[in-house]
Chains A and B, each alone.
Chain A
């Protein structure tokens, strides 16, 4: 466990294997909410928080419950339940303690339950940082850090996309391509630019 490994996780999660542009996780929210910068940013922050927290929680469940009792095949079902419950809990806590923040997150918080990025990162963590059903050294920190980095990658793609789409409102585009199709084509061009990061190999 050293700084280089954390650096590798950071660059891999944010640039090379960007959740949206290369892994296609959380694509639905990415296309649907990236019309304006402000809601896009609120959604990104909500995703980042939930992804990081759920990485920590699912790591603990995998390490202390599923692996010791040899029931790792229940991974999918337990992770999704924990994530759904956790999102609901966060929603209730935020609603009670900070109504302003609750309004800012709005409908995006419940939507995160079905955001594949959250479950995807939990599954990735248990694939990457557990070898032969044993946690590798420092896997807890790696998992939490990967959660943060995936959130950062999501935020980066979301902000770039919403900036471009705000400008597009003033353009004259073919009627058939309006909205979703054009959003996919822009995402593709951004993906091509991100392919340049593939040269960073560790």
Chain B
């Protein structure tokens, strides 16, 4: 039980996929315009991550070593297609907002990375918790970035007006602002790491 909790927690802080491992940055930057988009992308990626981790840890003994990567990609792509169809059916607005970045979850390095580094070596229960932890870590990172960008870029949070009479810095709603925010955040976390030593 203790080890399960450790597997879950490591994805959130110690091995945070975005800030520590620097994986899967493309969707992080592209969809983090508003908290709603960030949350939607986070949940979608977490779902794919958990399902693919579980399935891959179940079938790892049947996959020949040489063609394991294509096999993993097929499993991941299947779940991405499921997510895509579910999202189109139940929340078309979110699907339009995320656009091509939903199918692009397939090439999100976090998912293939966890399949290769964790699920192919550990049992199903651990893989489930690893996927959950990594997914939550990814979602939290997305929420942090998209919260900063939405607040500074439009003065809103979750589409609700927070500050009224202040001219928002439009830059942060633009792609260039995303790069600036993630650069400074990475620098900030590096600084914290240096301090702790």
Contacts and interface: CB of A to CB of B under 8 A. Distances in A.
Nearest to A88: B70
A132 B70 CA distance: 31
B186 A114 contact: no
A28 B26 contact: yes
B107 A84 contact: no
Interface stretch (A35-43, A72-80, A135-143, A144-152): A72-80
A177 B84 contact: no
B18 to A, nearest CB: 12
A55 to B, nearest CB: 14
B120 to A, nearest CB: 16
A72 to B, nearest CB: 11
Contact of B109 (A77, A114, A188): A114
A163 B54 CA distance: 44
Interface of B: 22-23, 25-27, 29-30, 69-70, 73-74, 77-78, 80-81, 84-85, 100, 103-104, 106-107, 109, 112, 171, 174-180, 182-184, 186-188, 190-191, 194
Given A77-B74, A81-B73, A177-B187, 14 more contacts: A23-B175, A24-B26, A24-B29, A26-B26, A77-B81, A80-B77, A81-B74, A119-B103, A119-B107, A120-B104, A123-B103, A181-B187, A181-B190, A187-B179
